[in-house]
Each structure stands twice: as structure tokens, then as C-alpha cells.
Chains A and B, each alone.
Chain A
Amino acid sequence: MDLGISALNYVNGIRNGEFTVEEFVSKSLERISQVDKKLHAFLRVNDLAIKKAKEIDTKIKSNQDVGKCFGMPVSVKDNMCIEGSKTTCASKVLENFIAPYTSTVITKLDSEDAIIIGKTNLDEFAMGLSTEFSAYGPSRNPWNTDYVPGGSSGGSGVSVSANECIASLGSDTGGSIRNPASFCSVVGLKPTYGLVSRYGLVSYANSIEQIGPMTKTVKDSAFLLNIISGIDSNDNTTIDNKNQDYLNDIDVGISGKKIGIVSEMTNSDGLSADVLNATNESVKTFEKLGANCEQISLQMVPYTVAAYYTITSTEAGSNLARFDNIRYGYDFDSAGFEFNSYISQARSKLGPEVIRRMILGGFVPSAGHAGKYFLKALKVKSKLIAEINHVFEKFDFLISPTVPIQPFKFGEKIQDPVSFMMIDFNTVTANLTGIPAISVPYKITNGLPIGIQIMANRLEERSLLQAAYALEKTVNLPEVPSL
């Protein structure tokens, strides 16, 4: 029984009786206890997992209807609510917050008999690119534990990459699924804005974020997307995708497709040499697959990082205002305190990056400054959307390396705020425009992963997954080193 198998192979294994759910989940839990002390992917492990596994095995044995997932162990980023269990967003401020309801995506997974094996680590409130900002300690990259796993869904990336579970749900606001996917050498998909319900996802920047799968293979991502996508009456921003099957025809290939190489995201100044090499190789690969590749320019891209941080800190400043520790949060008695000083004191438990975003978020939309910052950022977003729409009239896909650099060492990038923000340079475009984007593991250089990002037009996940699958098939990557 190989913990490194894909979700689809797991399902086959269960159906063929090669192993039971209990056996596999047991082994996964064992794996977690072996490696997670070092990796710290998980904030909490589900101690009812075995019980659920047994129940599913019983269902299978007695020929009852079993959900598509057949008990596969899936981890979930700890910013998604599950009823009766802690949801901390990796923050001290929500140390004792027990969610009273369950996110739609998790309800969907539950109804397909997936087993949520644990909640994974993240940058506090999903604000970060390396999981170094978790208030409970960072997660470590299983390819080299001196290096960051990326973020903010770092724990999710690690849990899949280190075979602690079959798949994970992360969230992506500026690259938070794709970045750790690239850094950990797993597949990470950010769906079209509105394709997946955000009900239950603790909001950071609600106008652009999405929940998405992080998996070992592209087909697995399609499999999970089938389950979690679709219109939700609990989320007014969801779109009807008319029950598309994303696995269907995933292997048709990309012969004759037109691919745009985003020059602003692939120019040699911004990329490390190794990433540039990998990118050029991937272009050759795409061409071998029968696609026509061409350099294209998206003029607004150089402004996207500034626009992204302006918009997201505004929204974050608002979305996190509710954390005043009055209705829920952590133990801190308000007796004797005056209102304003209590709240400020309570919020002093917020981590440094969150604090900075709160300040930015108070500044950029304020009356005297909104015109220069917030309003301009919205207009950059608009112009970028127009550019993207125009480009997709001619092209089927856009490509770039997911992250301009390879994983870095802990503490290496945290010093300079501007170069830290730049790590998002290639990923924020997809968030600002709402288009789907996927990171496919492409290469391991110096023992560290490089992922290639493919983007498609809004609601074109099917063809996006076809392109990702075609690329994946050409790649033969080593196993993650033993820990």
C-alpha cells in the first residue's frame, strides 16, 4: 500500500479490495505522526478519522452506496470552518474559536465520503507567501526542510507532497494555492472566481479569493473540482457551471492550441536563472505537444502587485474587523476594560504581517487617500480584465513560471517587504481577473521544485486541465526525499 498514490488510484485500490479504508487511513495517521513533528503541516489531526474509516468500510462491505471518495484522507486548510471543531486561521486571536457550522466544500466532501484527516497550517489569516507568518510556527518543505514550503496554504502543500494525505483543500487570494504547489511539487488549482463556494472560508479578500484543490496529479484536481464546484445558495457570488465533468476528455491534448507566454512574468530580470531555464524548457515542451507558443504582453502586470496589496488590505481590514474578541476568539475577560482599549488589547495578539495589512487597509481606502490608492487599484484591475479578455480572444492559454524564484530558506525573504511582495508577481493576475490558473510540478533543480503556471479564460477549467494534464504527462519527477 503506497501512500504516494493518486486519489483516482486510491479509489481503484479500495474498490478492487487491495486495501481497506481503515488500513489506508491508519497508515496515513502513522505517517503523520512520524513526519509531522518535523514538517508541521498539521495544526490538528482528526481523532475520529479511524471511526469514520471503519464506517465507510462497513458500507463498502455491505454493498451500500458509497460516495465517490471512498474514504480518502483529505486535509483542509485551517481557515475553513468545520462544525464543532477549532478553526484558528493559524492565529492566536482565534485560539479557542469553535466553528458552529461547516463550509459548503467540506459538506460536499463529506457527502462523497471523503475523510477530513486534519486541518493544515497557513500564514496567519492567509496573509503571506511562505507560511512563516503562522502564529503556531512555520511548516517545512519536505524537499528540504531548511526551506519554506510556500504559502499561504503551506501546510496543505506539505501534507500532500509528504504523502501525509491524498489531497488537500487550500485557498488562493494572490497565489496561496499555486505558490505552495510550486514549492512543494504538487498540483494546485485556483478555480474561476465564483466556481467554488466560499461559504465557510474565513474571508481575507472576498472579491478575489477561491478555495481549490491541491493534489498529486492533475486528474485528481479535476476529480476534486467535480465535487466541490457548483452554485451554492449560501454564496451569492457563485456561478452555475452546469454540472460540468472536468475529468471528461481531460486527455485530448493541446495540439493546435495557442499559448501566450506572458513576457512581463517571464523576463529574465524578474526570474532566477533556474526558473528561467525551466520556463524555456516548458515552452519547448508545449510546442512538442503541438501548441503554438508566442510572447504576449499584458501591460498592466507591473502594476498588479501594488493593486493587489491595496485591494486586499482594504478588504482584509474590513473582513478582520469582526475579530474584537467580544463574541468569540480566545480567553480574555473584558471586565474593567473600556471598549476601545479592550479591542486594541485583544487584537494585539494578531501577528506582525496581519497588523501591517490592517494598517495598510485602514490607510489606502480612507477618505483622503482612496483616490490615490484604492480607487486606482480598482481601475488597474478593470484595465487588466479588459486586457485579459482581449488576449483570450486570440489565445487559449497563458503560461509563466508559477513563482519567479525557487523555494527560499526561512527568514531569507522576510526582511524586505517589497521584494517579499514581488514573490506574488506572477500569480496575482489570475486573482485580480478571476480567471482560473493551475500550477503543475515541472522540474526539480538543486533538490527544489519548480512549477509552471497555466492560465485560461473564465470558466475554462476543462481546457485548462487538459493543458495541465498534457504537460504533466511529459514530466517524470523524482519522489519526495524520505524524511
Chain B
Amino acid sequence: MTKIGLEIHCQLTKLESKLFCSCKADYREFEPNTNICPVCMGIPGSLPLLNKSAVEKATLIAMALDCNTPDKIAFFRKNYFYPDLPKNFQITQLNVYGNTSIGWSGKIKVEDKEIRIRRIQLEEDPGRIIYEGATEKTKLTLVDYNRAGTPLVEIVTEPDFETPHQVREFLNILSDLIENLNVSDPGLEGAMRADANVSIEGGSKVEIKNIGSFHDLEKAVHFEITRQESLAERKIEIIQETRHWDDGRKITVSSRTKEEEAEYRYHLEADIPWIRISDNIKNELQTRMPESISSKKERYISKYDITPQVADILASDRYFSELFEKANNEVNAKHIANMITTDIMGLLDTREKRELSKLNAKHLSDLVEYITSNKITRASAKLALDEIIKNGQPLSQVIVDLDLGNVSDESALFEIIIQVLNEETKAVENAKQNPEIINFLVGKVMQKTHGKADPELTLTLLKQNLGIV
């Protein structure tokens, strides 16, 4: 049986500051080496100052993944030399003196499989290495430490996955879960990374690192399984090793040919005392925990009578579920939900668009109200949405500005209908035989009114005119 395990690194991007200093947690907008201080640069004599919220947010993740959480957490040093490590050690967590990392022995359901979470730990991200120069000779290794010290939560699973598809599903569920907890924005570049380990029946465990995206991860795992299976078929031994994902060639490549046991000389980080996390604190965190996605979904289905598919999409998206909760008044919930999933999600499909959007809950509830009371058509609503997202004025004003109000005045509409009937003589003929053609005529009326004709009224008047029941 194929066994796949994952090691996911998730930055806590919703924190204000780094794990051990007050530099910004989100380093992305800074010029190189301008989001640094003596602490995250490991300047001699500097000392790490643990971020309280980091512990709380990491604990939320542990709780959401059904983990045991300790009464005291401790930090350790993992010692090795690398240019992106300012101190040449990483402050991380370990469980050698009892259980002292943020969480252990959790689980999460993926489709029908229960995936066990071995442990969760809090640690710091290293800096970033950039290579400059084309040739081997001129190539420079340049380091930007802006990211050094960014808070990371590492989630290690048991090798419970059996297929690449399960892995992908898990990562989607995990992303949604983490976003829902409001501890991280998984969509940010580099916010969530994962390594995998793969072993087929009877074979050694192979680690795969350097995987750029979750999409690549699925591919890498798939490739690795295939590679191992072909080796096994030819009765060639599968070496236990670390391989890296070569994105260009879409293959895994051996990183270390001989088995090198890295020696990290783990020992306690004496500059950070053990942190007591009382039951009171844990209970308080538990109450602060946002409603889980599955619970939201259940609630949407049972309370608002929303279809499971729509409920699923809505509950899994933090931004839109929040919008939904604010906009709906229970009566219009189903319509709001549909409007979001059908129209709005497509318009606000990227983080930038969401950040720039001026659409708020009132806009949404107004839109639904206007549609259900026939003040505007769905088509007009779409136009209004575009405008509102861009400029944010109240719906009533947008309708006036863009002249989107339904033509529901019977006599005005009647005139337009007569026009259409005169123009579309062939259709009029066919409509009497084929009632479907009436929709075509409705469409023509909508065209003439720029989508503002009240569709129901139009249909009624047309039918009357054509003598159709």
C-alpha cells in the first residue's frame, strides 16, 4: 500500500509582527533587508522575544485539527549552518522532554479517510536566498533577511495518504480551515508550503522537498509513486533519500546520494522560558475559535435551506461567508447565497479584487430586495454590481446614474412590445405554434429596454398580445 505523509509549513500572515521580534510578519512589500532588526538578524547580544498571539493562533490551529495541546510549551534550537539562517540555528519545537510543542495526535477527515496529525510546532522562517549572475563563475549568493523570523506553523501528518488526489483534497481543506480561523491568508505567495514523503509497499521512504505549489505537490507525489513502482517492477532497490522537485523537467531528482544524517545538536532555547498554557487560556481560545467550515455548512443547509453545493462553496470561503452572514436576514438568505456564488465570486476572484472592492453587505441585501420586488432585472443587477464594486455608491443611486430601473410601467412597456411584435413578424408567426419562441421575443424586448424590462410583466403582456395562455 502506498503511504504518503506531508510536512506543511504555514506562515501566520495574520500576525502583526514576527515570531521573536517586532518587525512586520508580512515581509512582502519591503525592499530587501529593510524589515530587519538586531533580534531577527541575530546580532550578537540580541535575545528572542516570543509573540503571544503567535502562540494563541498556533494553538487555534492545533485545536481545529483536533490535537492534544500541552500545559507548557518549550522551544529548542536546531543547529546548522546556512546563509539564510542569521544565527546559524533555527528556533523551533521538539518533543524530547515530554510533549512541549503546540499540538500532537490530531486528526482531520479527508473525503472518507481520517488523516492523523502527528504534531504541530511553532518555529521561525529563515531568510530568502537569491541568485544573481548567469555563469557558474559570476553567480552570487545574495540573501534577503526580511523573511527571517516570520512565524511558521509546521504541521506534520502521519503517512496516512494513499493517493495524490487525497493529498490535494487535504491541502484544500487545510487551506480553507486555516483561512477560516483567520490566522493566515493561504493565498499569499509563499504563505503555505509543503514537503512530502512517499513510500510504496515494501519500499523505503523518500522525502520530496522544494515543491513550489500545491498543484506541483500533487504532480510530484504522482511522479514519485510512478518512479518507485517502476523501480520495484525491475526489482531495483528504492533508496531512502531526499529528492527535490525539478519544476522545469517535472521530475524528482536526488538531492543527496549518500545517506547523511544531519546532526542538529538539538537543545533547549534558554532565552525563552517554558510557557505555561493554562486550561483557562485554552478554554478562552476555544470560545474565541471561529465556527468551523463544516458547522457553517450544516447551518446554511438546515437554517437557510441552501443547497449543499452552494453551502459548501460559501462556507469554505471566509470572505464570502462573512459577507453572507452580514447581508442576509434569513428571509433572503437563499437569494443572497445564490447571488454570491453565481455572480459575485466570479467578479471578485482574486485577493486584489477583493481588497479593492467597495461592495458591502447592504449593497448585497438591497440588490436582492430590488430583484425580488422586480425593481430591477438580474441583468441590470449585474451591471449595478460592477459599478458598486468599483465605486461603492448606494444601489439606489447607481440605478439612477445608470438608468437601470425596470421598465414596469405597463403602457411604456406595451409600446415597446408592439414595436418588437412588428419587427419580428416571423417569430410572432412561430410563437403561436411554438411557445418556446416567446422567450426569444422576451429577449428582444429586453434588448430594446437595455435589460430593464420587468421580465415577468413582459412575458405576461406578450402572451396576452399573442393570445397565448
Interface, chain A (partner B; CB < 8 A): 80-81, 87, 89, 94, 97, 99-101, 103, 198-203, 206-207, 233-237, 314-315, 317-318, 321-324, 326-328, 339-340, 343, 361-362, 365-367, 374
Residues of B67-122 at the interface with A, using a CB-CB cut-off of 8 Å, are 77, 79, 81, 83, 86-89
Q: What is the minimal beta-carbon distance from B100 to any residue of chain A, in angstroms?
A: 15
> Can you name 10 A-B pairs with beta carbons within 8 Å?
A99-B44, A100-B38, A203-B45, A233-B49, A321-B79, A322-B42, A322-B44, A324-B88, A339-B83, A365-B265
How long is the Cα–Cα vector from A365 to B77 in the complex, in angstroms? 12
Contact yes or no, A365 B266, CB < 8 A:
yes
> Which of A103, A318, A324, A365 contacts B45 (CB under 8 A)?
A103
Q: What is the minimal beta-carbon distance from B331 to any residue of chain A, in angstroms?
A: 53
Contact yes or no, A101 B271, CB < 8 A:
no
> Which of A80, A89, A237, A314 contacts B271 (CB under 8 A)?
A237
Indicate whether B443 reaches chain A with its CB closer than 8 angstroms: no
How long is the Cα–Cα vector from A367 to B41 in the complex, in angstroms? 28
Contact yes or no, A81 B45, CB < 8 A:
yes
Indicate whether B468 reaches chain A with its CB closer than 8 angstroms: no
Contact yes or no, B47 A199, CB < 8 A:
yes
Indicate whether B270 reaches chain A with its CB closer than 8 angstroms: yes
Known contacts: A318-B79, A321-B87, A324-B88. The answer to whether A201 contacts B267 by CB under 8 A is no
How long is the Cα–Cα vector from A366 to B264 in the complex, in angstroms? 7
Indicate whether B394 reaches chain A with its CB closer than 8 angstroms: no
* Complex interface: chain B residues within 8 A of A233 (CB): 49
Q: With A318-B267, A323-B44, A362-B265 given, name 12 new contacts (CB 8 A).
A: A97-B44, A203-B271, A206-B271, A233-B49, A237-B271, A318-B77, A318-B265, A321-B87, A322-B42, A322-B86, A322-B87, A365-B267
Q: What is the minimal beta-carbon distance from A78 to any residue of chain B, in angstroms?
A: 12
With a 10 A CB-CB cut-off, give which of B43, B44, B46, B272 has the most chain A CB atoms.
B44
How long is the Cα–Cα vector from A413 to B49 in the complex, in angstroms? 41
Interface, chain B (partner A; CB < 8 A): 38, 41-50, 77, 79, 81, 83, 86-89, 141, 261, 263, 265-268, 270-273
Q: Is the interface of A mostly helix, strand, loop or mixed?
A: loop
Known contacts: A199-B46, A327-B41. The answer to whether A236 contacts B272 by CB under 8 A is yes
Contact yes or no, B47 A198, CB < 8 A:
yes
> Which of B83, B87, B141, B273 contacts A236 (CB under 8 A)?
B273
> Which of A207, A235, A318, A324 contacts B47 (CB under 8 A)?
A235
Q: What is the minimal beta-carbon distance from B94 to any residue of chain A, in angstroms?
A: 12
How long is the Cα–Cα vector from A318 to B45 in the complex, in angstroms? 13
Q: What is the minimal beta-carbon distance from B293 to any residue of chain A, in angstroms?
A: 36
* Complex interface: chain A residues within 8 A of B50 (CB): 236
Contact yes or no, B49 A326, CB < 8 A:
no
> Which of B45, B265, B270 contacts A99 (CB under 8 A)?
B45
Q: Is the interface of B mostly helix, strand, loop or mixed?
A: loop
How long is the Cα–Cα vector from A455 to B231 in the complex, in angstroms? 68
Contact yes or no, A366 B41, CB < 8 A:
no
How long is the Cα–Cα vector from A374 to B77 in the complex, in angstroms? 14
- In the complex, the chain A residue whose C-beta lies closest to that of B266 is A365
Q: What is the minimal beta-carbon distance from A446 to any residue of chain B, in angstroms?
A: 39
Contact yes or no, A101 B83, CB < 8 A:
no
Q: What is the minimal beta-carbon distance from B382 to any residue of chain A, in angstroms?
A: 55
How long is the Cα–Cα vector from A80 to B273 in the complex, in angstroms? 22
How long is the Cα–Cα vector from A200 to B38 in the complex, in angstroms? 10
How long is the Cα–Cα vector from A80 to B46 in the complex, in angstroms? 11
Known contacts: A206-B271, A236-B50, A236-B272. The answer to whether A101 contacts B43 by CB under 8 A is yes
Contact yes or no, A237 B79, CB < 8 A:
no
Contact yes or no, A200 B88, CB < 8 A:
no
- In the complex, the chain A residue whose C-beta lies closest to that of B20 is A236
How long is the Cα–Cα vector from A97 to B44 in the complex, in angstroms? 10
* Complex interface: chain A residues within 8 A of B87 (CB): 321-322
Contact yes or no, B270 A237, CB < 8 A:
yes
Q: What is the minimal beta-carbon distance from B48 to any residue of chain A, in angstroms?
A: 7
How long is the Cα–Cα vector from A101 to B46 in the complex, in angstroms? 9
* Complex interface: chain A residues within 8 A of B38 (CB): 100-101
Contact yes or no, A94 B267, CB < 8 A:
no
* Complex interface: chain A residues within 8 A of B48 (CB): 236
* Complex interface: chain B residues within 8 A of A198 (CB): 45, 47
With a 10 A CB-CB cut-off, give which of B43, B79, B266 has the most chain A CB atoms.
B43
* Complex interface: chain A residues within 8 A of B44 (CB): 81, 87, 89, 94, 97, 99, 202-203, 322-323
How long is the Cα–Cα vector from A315 to B43 in the complex, in angstroms? 16
* Complex interface: chain A residues within 8 A of B81 (CB): 321, 324, 339-340, 343
* Complex interface: chain A residues within 8 A of B42 (CB): 322
* Complex interface: chain A residues within 8 A of B79 (CB): 317-318, 321
How long is the Cα–Cα vector from A203 to B77 in the complex, in angstroms? 14
Contact yes or no, B45 A315, CB < 8 A:
no
- In the complex, the chain A residue whose C-beta lies closest to that of B137 is A336
Contact yes or no, A315 B267, CB < 8 A:
yes
Contact yes or no, A234 B49, CB < 8 A:
yes
- In the complex, the chain A residue whose C-beta lies closest to that of B41 is A327
How long is the Cα–Cα vector from A81 to B261 in the complex, in angstroms? 37
How long is the Cα–Cα vector from A200 to B88 in the complex, in angstroms? 19
How long is the Cα–Cα vector from A199 to B38 in the complex, in angstroms? 11
* Complex interface: chain B residues within 8 A of A327 (CB): 41, 86
* Complex interface: chain B residues within 8 A of A236 (CB): 47-50, 271-273
With a 10 A CB-CB cut-off, give which of B86, B87, B265 has the most chain A CB atoms.
B265
How long is the Cα–Cα vector from A200 to B46 in the complex, in angstroms? 6
Q: What is the minimal beta-carbon distance from A163 to any residue of chain B, in angstroms?
A: 29
The 5 residue pairs across chains A and B that have the minimum distance between CB atoms: A207-B270, A321-B88, A202-B44, A200-B45, A365-B265
* Complex interface: chain B residues within 8 A of A321 (CB): 79, 81, 87-89
* Complex interface: chain B residues within 8 A of A101 (CB): 38, 43, 45-46
Contact yes or no, B273 A322, CB < 8 A:
no
How long is the Cα–Cα vector from A238 to B159 in the complex, in angstroms? 42
- In the complex, the chain B residue whose C-beta lies closest to that of A206 is B270
How long is the Cα–Cα vector from A327 to B38 in the complex, in angstroms? 12
How long is the Cα–Cα vector from A193 to B263 in the complex, in angstroms? 30
How long is the Cα–Cα vector from A199 to B37 in the complex, in angstroms? 14
Known contacts: A207-B270, A236-B272, A366-B265. The answer to whether A318 contacts B46 by CB under 8 A is no
Q: What is the minimal beta-carbon distance from B29 to any residue of chain A, in angstroms?
A: 23
* Complex interface: chain B residues within 8 A of A324 (CB): 81, 88
Q: What is the minimal beta-carbon distance from A349 to any residue of chain B, in angstroms?
A: 16
Q: What is the minimal beta-carbon distance from A359 to any residue of chain B, in angstroms?
A: 12
How long is the Cα–Cα vector from A202 to B47 in the complex, in angstroms? 10
* Complex interface: chain A residues within 8 A of B45 (CB): 80-81, 87, 99, 101, 103, 198-203
Q: What is the minimal beta-carbon distance from A119 to any residue of chain B, in angstroms?
A: 13
How long is the Cα–Cα vector from A206 to B89 in the complex, in angstroms? 15
Q: What is the minimal beta-carbon distance from A42 to any residue of chain B, in angstroms?
A: 20
How long is the Cα–Cα vector from A322 to B80 in the complex, in angstroms? 10
How long is the Cα–Cα vector from A63 to B337 in the complex, in angstroms? 74
How long is the Cα–Cα vector from A314 to B270 in the complex, in angstroms? 12
How long is the Cα–Cα vector from A89 to B86 in the complex, in angstroms? 19
Q: What is the minimal beta-carbon distance from B67 to any residue of chain A, in angstroms?
A: 25
* Complex interface: chain A residues within 8 A of B88 (CB): 321-322, 324
* Complex interface: chain A residues within 8 A of B263 (CB): 362, 366-367
* Complex interface: chain A residues within 8 A of B268 (CB): 207
With a 10 A CB-CB cut-off, give which of B47, B50, B81 has the most chain A CB atoms.
B47
